[in-house]
């Protein structure tokens, strides 16, 4: 029997969806959009998505690390870029030379930046992050005054210009959580204190995707959206339907089909056992591709993650392996080579990233950001031209 050619498992990212999501976010928020493209654009491909976001009207790009921001510049992306995660090796001088906005979280950060900026003839661009309730980075309230004083002194010395002051929500996906009011109030107090210290930051920003959609009072001068740019719902179950379109589709070829009889066990640990005759299919994606190892939910097989084959949802059986998963075909025999939709937008014939997140006890952010491994990534443009 001749086997059909098997295309490899792959990720398809629709750049038209990214552009459309940016447009709808801008229209919803009504303020400039900072498109967050950290972590390889949440698994969607940083440079291509950054370009698409700019085409869709994003006025700013943002990354976590200095290295990611420099990679945007190396790829030829112009325009404002912000980054915020500083480490011992962060090249502040290169970032400033590339016109990137750095974030200072402390006076120690400002001191390190002042050292790195020593040879410059023009002021660098620095934003200040205040911690209003996440206890991650950002200056804690007790350190705001000294941060602002030090930042203002550096401005007066011509070392930098303070271009922004910002903070980050802990609970924006729970709009009724009391922390949101407290954080926004704290942020307003930080802004007032910054002003008392003589700072006039042009870009005050607090909202991530969920807050940009759900909390108008938090929009200030710009919103910092990541997840929503890729079309995923940042607060499932809340009133977030603004017409976002998931940009990522993951497909794989069905490799083979086999029969099981009652008592046949599936995968490592033999944690799923057929109770009746069935057929199972082999799909070449595993935890090396970012599929969570527990996706077959051996503890609760009726909640297992699924894949789509010929428009039917096929549950994963047993433990996810490094390179492959086994799915229950319920007696059907699709031909090897049939396209398996591992995840995609609603209507693509398979589960969504949100469906995967619910099956695996995590959030859609983690599902898409981990997707990768050996899979190729291809860009399409559903409006026509390939991006």
Residues annotated as catalytic are 38, 268
Q: Of 77, 191, 227, 342, which one interacts with ligand PLP (CB under 6 A)?
A: 227
Distance between CA atoms of residues 45 and 39, nearest Å: 9
Token reading at 288 = 């090396």
Binding track over 82-121 against ligand PLP, x by CB under 6 A: --x-------------------------------------
User: How near is the Cβ of 86 to ligand PLP at its closest, in Å?
Assistant: 13
Distance between CA atoms of residues 68 and 77, nearest Å: 12
Three-state SS for 256? Answer: strand
User: How near is the Cβ of 60 to ligand PLP at its closest, in Å?
Assistant: 11
Residue 39 or residue 327: which is nearer to ligand PLP going by CB? 39
- Return contacts of 70-77, CB within 8 angstroms, 24+ apart: 70/94, 70/95, 70/98, 70/100, 71/46, 71/47, 72/37, 72/46, 72/47, 73/98, 73/99, 73/100, 75/47, 75/50, 77/47, 77/50, 77/51
Stretch that binds ligand PLP, among 219-227, 315-323, 324-332, 355-363 (CB under 6 A): 219-227
Interaction between residue 234 and ligand PLP (CB under 6 A):
yes
Stretch that binds ligand PLP, among 224-232, 240-248, 310-318, 371-379 (CB under 6 A): 224-232
Q: Of 90, 208, 240, 251, which one interacts with ligand PLP (CB under 6 A)?
A: 208
Residue 14 or residue 173: which is nearer to ligand PLP going by CB? 173
CA dihedral over 86, 33, 81, 203, signed as positive or negative: negative
Distance between CA atoms of residues 338 and 341, nearest Å: 10
Residue 61 or residue 326: which is nearer to ligand PLP going by CB? 61
Give exposure, 104-122, as e/b (b: 16+ Cβ within 10 Å).
bbbeebbebbbebbeeeee
User: How near is the Cβ of 66 to ligand PLP at its closest, in Å?
Assistant: 14
Give exposure, 65-81, as e/b (b: 16+ Cβ within 10 Å).
bbbbbbbbbeeebeebb
Is 375 among the annotated ligand-binding positions?
no
Interaction between residue 282 and ligand PLP (CB under 6 A):
no
Interaction between residue 231 and ligand PLP (CB under 6 A):
no
Q: Of 63, 65, 86, 209, which one interacts with ligand PLP (CB under 6 A)?
A: 209
Q: Of 51, 105, 168, 297, which one interacts with ligand PLP (CB under 6 A)?
A: 168
Q: H or E stretch including 195?
A: helix 178-196
Residue 21 or residue 267: which is nearer to ligand PLP going by CB? 21
Q: Of 35, 128, 225, 326, which one interacts with ligand PLP (CB under 6 A)?
A: 225
Distance between CA atoms of residues 354 and 351, nearest Å: 8
Q: Which residues are annotated as a binding site for substrate?
A: 136, 322
Binding residues for ligand PLP, per CB under 6 A?
A: 36, 38, 84, 168, 208-209, 224-228, 234
């Amino acid at each position: 029997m001749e086997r059909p050619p098997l295309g490899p498992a792959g990720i398809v990212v629709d750049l038209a969806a990214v552009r459309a999501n940016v447009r709808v976010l801008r229209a919803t928020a009504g303020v400039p959009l900072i498109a967050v493209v950290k972590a390889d654009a949440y698994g969607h491909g940083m440079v291509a998505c950054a370009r698409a976001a700019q085409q869709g009207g994003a006025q700013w790009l943002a990354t976590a690390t200095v290295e990611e921001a420099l990679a945007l510049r190396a790829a030829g992306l112009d325009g404002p870029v912000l980054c915020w995660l500083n480490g011992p090796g962060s090249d502040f001088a290169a970032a400033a030379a590339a016109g990137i906005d750095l974030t200072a979280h402390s006076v120690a950060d400002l001191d390190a930046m002042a050292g790195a900026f020593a040879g410059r003839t023009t002021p660098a661009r620095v934003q200040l992050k205040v911690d209003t309730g996440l206890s991650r980075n950002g200056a804690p309230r007790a350190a705001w005054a000294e941060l602002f004083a030090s930042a203002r002194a550096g401005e007066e010395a011509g070392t930098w210009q303070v271009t922004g002051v910002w903070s980050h929500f802990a609970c924006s996906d729970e709009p009724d959580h009391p922390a949101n009011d407290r954080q926004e109030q704290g942020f307003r107090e930080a802004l007032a204190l910054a002003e008392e210290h003589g700072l006039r930051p042009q870009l005050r920003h607090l909202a991530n995707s969920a807050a940009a959609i759900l909390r108008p009072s938090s929009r200030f001068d710009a919103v910092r959206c990541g997840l929503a740019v890729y079309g995923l719902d940042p607060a499932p179950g809340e009133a977030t339907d603004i017409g976002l379109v998931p940009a990522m589709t993951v497909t794989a070829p069905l490799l083979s089909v086999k029969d099981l009889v009652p008592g046949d066990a599936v995968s490592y640990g033999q944690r799923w056992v057929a109770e009746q005759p069935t057929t199972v299919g082999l799909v070449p994606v595993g935890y090396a591709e970012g599929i969570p190892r527990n996706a077959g939910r051996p503890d609760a097989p009726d909640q297992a993650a699924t894949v789509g084959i010929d428009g039917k949802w096929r549950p994963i059986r047993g433990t996810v392996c490094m390179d492959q998963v086994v799915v229950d075909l319920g007696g059907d025999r699709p031909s090897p080579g049939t396209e398996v939709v591992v995840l995609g937008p609603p209507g693509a014939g398979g589960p969504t990233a949100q469906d995967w997140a619910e099956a695996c006890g995590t959030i859609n952010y983690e599902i898409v950001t981990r997707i990768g491994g050996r899979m190729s990534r291809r860009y399409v443009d559903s409006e026509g031209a390939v991006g």
